[in-house]
């Protein structure tokens, strides 16, 4: 058989030659590997030359061998039969049942045995990523102590036609074994630099705080990321008819982008400054003057060397614009490839991205990545040459500016399957800005710090840790701390907090916790004194219950004997609800309407979960916060009198009964240590908003044994941790792999959010309903371009729900799975587009059997 093909397009049945695909992947993977400078990972003494050392040869070799097995006669018969079926309109068999990854893995593993211990280590690494370039990296050992990779390589039933495949590969590609051996020798020299740093002997002399044995898992994932991205990108470009080379922009083109963006940004700031100078309100002028000074200091800091920095700015101090100003200046000066904003909640992605688009233009190269709409690899369809693969539709983060969430960031390094890891290499040579850094989950602390250290050490990435409530991640635990933190971007941090003080926090906790009814009374009392009031609670259910109670009883508040309450205020008050049960577009619409009402100085009462705390540029006259972590209380206070509209605003802290926090340990511990700091502040008459008390709070909080014992993400009842599973352990005896890392077990146990979450598309308003209709009408023959466009639109209507809600709604017939698109769809009757968002029971007025 001479007509070797990799795939075909369903819309026109054109075939892609296998050698064309392999060469494209090799070229693209090598270009990605060339971006990594391994000199940063070792000391000058360990280098014998000033010549740049990259991963170019390693990735070139991986790309060359990844589809080695598709030269199998079995695979070629299958793919040609699928082509015939598609052309004749016959249903696909879908599953080929052919393990094509094992062939290239066997070839490189066998070859590596001739090149000594270092050669074997490199051979194992390449065999692993080639063998498993579909489906995710395996464990080094299973529960029986056997190596899945070695078992696969030694399975003769998989490799009966190995010699035929090898002959066909070399003949079709017109390549010699000597050429592959030369590439392999170069690969050994590249990876040897990393082997030096992961060996226990060398590590004993290493003065770094961090455990360098954690780094190999990320290094292997980096190489894997580049291979699978090159493979998927080549496949997608063939499907869409695009030129894959256009995805990798030249450095001078990127530099020009930064110049243009920086000019637009400076022009925008100049207009803001002129506008501020015309203000008559001295309080607002004072706030704007401080924001401008912070912005200027961030601009100057952009000229500093790459590294890890903190940016500690009071709430309302203009972090978003100031950090973006730093990022643009720094990216141009240090040749960074992209700027990535990592935010805690999807709510603020829309708002912050909107601000940047207003500055840089609607057509700026900006991606908002809220969540993954498609299901993970386990639900993906194979066959049809794999062009039906949902993995082709995932986000690569190739845009110049990316807004995403902490969940997506951490999933890139530690999530299961290949969907998220594919974009890992795009975090190299970037500026990453973490907004509200204190929201990193305690259990993810070691994993987060490990990823940041890796990007700093390996990737020449600059990291900015932004917040008004700055924890010290460089002093958390000896072996997992951030290394080489270069300090604060700005000066006079304490002074900024003093000068920007616009709110006081008052402790109103009662001896007995408030019920919903008691809380409602307290809320209406405070609401009578202001036009706008924000109430933030810890649980979605509490927010919904409180909202419904306030909505029902606001009409009769005037008849109740509540001191200082004017009935007309309660009756005319507009109620708003914000929770995680609303899709991004729903939350955006609520926020937009809320902002309009506040601007008109209408009577406003907003009930929200903590999603409104971080980064939402909104200002109420007062707020009430249920007791929680001190940093969350401060963030709620930051939504009060944000622009200095009044002399002073107030944030009242209460203890509303919300049921058990058994599975919300961070809130439970936060309440414990917040009470300690409140008491200290009252006794010493100190302002609880000052950084010194926040530092004391975090010291207490992180040193609590219940907290510090969870830094490494404990699993199996605390008997082991994900961090330990991903830490390199050497095999001393037996025919096993040199590097013992449990990739699969770690990924299967990893979840940023404790609950199992599933993404569902919801029918919010006409656009969301129409979008779902279009998805339902999709067929296997719909082009990849159309699919990508639809899934891009679907992000705004996607909602992550936990397994309990999912199961209850699914069992009630409220959720269906669209298999050929890989998405779950919510029935119209299970979504309240006016207020509540997702419903556990169908609305009888909407339900249709």
Q: Does pLDDT of 288 surpass 90?
A: no
Q: Does pLDDT of 567 surpass 90?
A: no
Least confident of 156-160, 410-414, 496-500: 496-500
Which residues of the chain form CATH 3.40.50.300? 251-371+394-493, 502-688
At the second CATH level, the architecture of 5-247 is Orthogonal Bundle (1.10)
Q: Does pLDDT of 129 surpass 70?
A: yes
pLDDT band of residue 386 (cuts 50, 70, 90) is very low
Fold that domain 502-688 belongs to in CATH: Rossmann fold (3.40.50)
pTM confidence score: 0.88
Q: Please indicate whether residue 549 or residue 564 has the higher confidence score (pLDDT).
A: 549
Model pLDDT for residues 53-87, shown as the tens digit of each residue: 899 999 999 999 999 999 999 999 999 999 999 89
pLDDT band of residue 565 (cuts 50, 70, 90) is very low
Closest to 133 measured CA to CA, from 389, 452, 455: 389
Model pLDDT for residues 782-822, shown as the tens digit of each residue: 777 788 788 888 888 999 898 899 999 999 999 999 887 78
Rounded to whole angstroms, the Cα distance separating 737 from 733 reads 10
Question: Sign of the CA dihedral 211, 214, 220, 222?
Answer: negative
CATH number for 251-371+394-493 (one of 3.40.50.300, 3.40.50.150, 1.10.10.10, 1.10.1530.10): it is 3.40.50.300
Closest to 190 measured CA to CA, from 354, 384, 15, 52: 52
Which residues of the chain form CATH 1.10.3210? 5-247
So what's the pLDDT on residue 382? 33
Length of the chain: 849
pLDDT band of residue 474 (cuts 50, 70, 90) is confident
Q: Does pLDDT of 715 surpass 60?
A: yes
- Report phi then psi at 652, rounded to 5: -100, 130
Contact 535, 514 (CB under 8 A): no
Rounded to whole angstroms, the Cα distance separating 129 from 124 reads 9
- Average pLDDT across the chain, whole number: 87
What are the Cα distances from residue 16, in Å, to 7, 87, 413, 663?
6, 15, 32, 52
State both tokens at 838: 């997702």
So what's the pLDDT on residue 349? 85
pLDDT band of residue 110 (cuts 50, 70, 90) is very high
So what's the pLDDT on residue 293? 93
Other beta carbons within 10 angstroms of residue 13's beta carbon come to 11
What are the Cα distances from residue 312, in Å, to 143, 294, 317, 395, 464?
46, 10, 9, 31, 10
Rounded to whole angstroms, the Cα distance separating 51 from 30 reads 18
Closest to 346 measured CA to CA, from 835, 836, 799, 793: 799
Rounded to whole angstroms, the Cα distance separating 1 from 3 reads 6
Least confident of 277-291, 503-517, 641-655, 798-812: 277-291
Least confident of 203-207, 581-585, 792-796: 203-207
Model pLDDT for residues 585-623, shown as the tens digit of each residue: 999 999 999 999 999 999 999 999 998 987 678 999 999
The residue to which tokens 């809130």 are assigned: 667
So what's the pLDDT on residue 820? 75
The listed range with the strongest mean pLDDT (92-106, 266-280, 466-480, 536-550) is 536-550
- Report phi then psi at 656, rounded to 5: -80, 130
Q: Does pLDDT of 755 surpass 80?
A: no
The listed range with the strongest mean pLDDT (463-472, 534-543, 679-688, 701-710) is 534-543
Q: Does pLDDT of 334 surpass 90?
A: yes
737 Cβ contact list (under 8 Å, min separation 6): 124, 140, 141, 147, 149, 150, 731
Q: Does pLDDT of 569 surpass 60?
A: no
The residue to which tokens 């494209």 are assigned: 24
Model pLDDT for residues 356-384, shown as the tens digit of each residue: 999 999 999 999 887 666 654 433 333 33
Burial class (CB in 10 A: 0-12, 13-18, 19+), 547: buried
- Report phi then psi at 366, rounded to 5: -125, 130
- The count of C-alpha atoms lying within 13 angstroms of the C-alpha of 429, restricted to the half-sphere facing its C-beta, is 19
Pairing of strands 622-626, 532-536: parallel
So what's the pLDDT on residue 205? 43
So what's the pLDDT on residue 613? 86
Q: Please indicate whether residue 44 or residue 630 has the higher confidence score (pLDDT).
A: 630
Contact 107, 163 (CB under 8 A): no
């Amino acid at each position: 058989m001479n007509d070797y093909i990799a795939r075909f397009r369903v819309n026109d049945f054109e075939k892609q030659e296998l050698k064309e695909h392999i060469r494209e992947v090799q070229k693209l993977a090598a270009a990605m590997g060339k971006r990594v400078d391994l000199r940063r990972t070792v000391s000058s003494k360990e280098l014998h030359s000033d010549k740049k050392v990259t991963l170019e040869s390693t990735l070139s070799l991986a790309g060359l061998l990844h589809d080695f097995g598709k030269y199998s006669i079995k695979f070629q018969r299958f793919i040609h039969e699928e082509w015939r079926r598609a052309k004749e309109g016959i249903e696909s068999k879908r599953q080929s049942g052919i393990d094509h990854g094992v062939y290239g893995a066997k070839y490189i593993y066998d070859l590596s045995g001739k090149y000594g211990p270092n050669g074997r280590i490199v051979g194992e690494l390449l065999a692993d990523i080639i063998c498993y370039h579909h489906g995710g990296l395996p464990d080094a050992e299973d529960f029986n102590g056997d190596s899945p990779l070695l078992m696969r390589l030694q399975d003769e039933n998989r490799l009966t036609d190995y010699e035929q495949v090898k002959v066909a590969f070399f003949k079709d590609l017109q390549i010699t074994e000597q050429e592959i051996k030369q590439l392999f020798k170069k690969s050994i020299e590249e990876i040897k630099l990393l082997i030096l740093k992961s060996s226990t002997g060398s590590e004993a002399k290493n003065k770094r705080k961090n455990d360098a044995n954690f780094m190999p898992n990320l290094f292997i994932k980096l190489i894997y990321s580049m291979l699978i991205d090159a493979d998927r990108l080549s496949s997608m470009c063939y499907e869409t008819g695009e030129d894959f080379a256009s995805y990798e922009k030249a450095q001078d083109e990127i530099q020009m982008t930064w110049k243009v963006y920086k000019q637009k940004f400076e022009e925008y700031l100049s207009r803001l400054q002129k506008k501020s100078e015309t203000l008559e309100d001295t309080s607002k002028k004072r706030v704007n003057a401080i924001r401008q000074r912070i912005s200027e200091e961030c601009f100057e800091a952009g000229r500093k060397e790459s590294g890890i920095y903190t940016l500690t700015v009071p709430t309302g101090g203009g972090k978003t614009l100031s950090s973006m100003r730093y990022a643009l200046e720094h990216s141009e000066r240090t040749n960074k490839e992209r700027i990535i904003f990592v935010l805690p909640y999807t709510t603020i992605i829309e708002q912050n991205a909107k601000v940047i688009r207003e500055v840089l233009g609607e057509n700026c190269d900006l991606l908002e990545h809220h969540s993954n709409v498609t299901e993970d690899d386990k639900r993906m369809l194979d066959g049809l040459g794999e062009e039906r693969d949902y993995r082709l539709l995932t986000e690569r983060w190739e845009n110049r500016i990316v807004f995403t969430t902490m969940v997506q960031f951490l999933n890139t390094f530690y999530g299961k399957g290949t969907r998220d890891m594919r974009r890992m290499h795009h975090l190299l040579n970037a500026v990453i800005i973490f907004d509200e850094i204190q929201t990193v989950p305690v259990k993810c602390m070691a994993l987060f710090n490990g990823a940041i250290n890796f990007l700093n050490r390996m990737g020449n990435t600059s990291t900015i840790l932004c917040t008004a409530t700055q924890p010290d991640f460089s002093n958390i635990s000896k072996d997992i701390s951030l290394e080489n933190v270069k300090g604060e971007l700005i000066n006079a941090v304490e002074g900024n907090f003093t000068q920007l003080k616009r709110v006081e926090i008052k402790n109103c906790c009662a001896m007995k916790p408030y019920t919903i009814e008691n809380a409602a009374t307290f809320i209406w009392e405070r609401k009578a004194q202001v036009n706008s009031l924000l109430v933030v609670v810890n649980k979605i259910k509490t927010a919904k219950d409180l909202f419904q109670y306030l909505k029902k009883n606001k009409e009769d508040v005037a008849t109740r004997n509540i001191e200082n309450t004017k009935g007309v205020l309660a009756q005319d008050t507009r109620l708003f609800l914000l929770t995680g049960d609303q899709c991004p577009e729903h939350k955006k619409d609520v926020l937009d309407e809320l902002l309009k009402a506040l601007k008109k100085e209408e009577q406003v009462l907003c009930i929200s979960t903590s999603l409104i705390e971080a980064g939402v540029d909104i200002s109420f006259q007062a707020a009430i916060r249920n007791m929680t972590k001190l940093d969350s209380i401060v963030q709620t206070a930051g939504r009060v009198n944000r622009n200095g509209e009044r002399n002073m605003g107030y944030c009242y802290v209460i203890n509303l009964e919300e049921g058990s926090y058994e599975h919300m340990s961070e809130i439970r511990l936060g309440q414990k240590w917040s009470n300690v700091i409140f008491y200290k502040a009252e006794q010493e008459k100190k302002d609880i908003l000052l950084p010194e008390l926040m530092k004391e709070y975090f010291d207490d909080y992180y040193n609590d044994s219940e907290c510090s014992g969870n830094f490494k993400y404990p699993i199996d009842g605390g008997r082991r941790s994900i961090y330990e599973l991903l830490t390199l352990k050497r095999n001393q005896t037996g025919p096993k792999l040199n590097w013992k890392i449990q990739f699969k077990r770690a990924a299967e146990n990893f979840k940023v959010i404790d609950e199992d979450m599933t993404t569902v598309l919801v029918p919010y308003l006409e656009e969301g309903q129409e979008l779902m209709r279009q998805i339902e009408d999709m067929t296997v023959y719909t082009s990849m371009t159309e699919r990508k466009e639809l899934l891009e639109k679907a992000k705004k209507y996607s909602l992550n729900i936990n397994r309990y809600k999912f199961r209850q709604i699914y069992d009630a017939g409220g959720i269906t799975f669209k298999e050929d698109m890989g998405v779950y769809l919510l029935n119209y009757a299970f979504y309240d587009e006016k207020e509540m968002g997702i419903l556990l029971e169908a609305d009888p007025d909407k339900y249709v059997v």
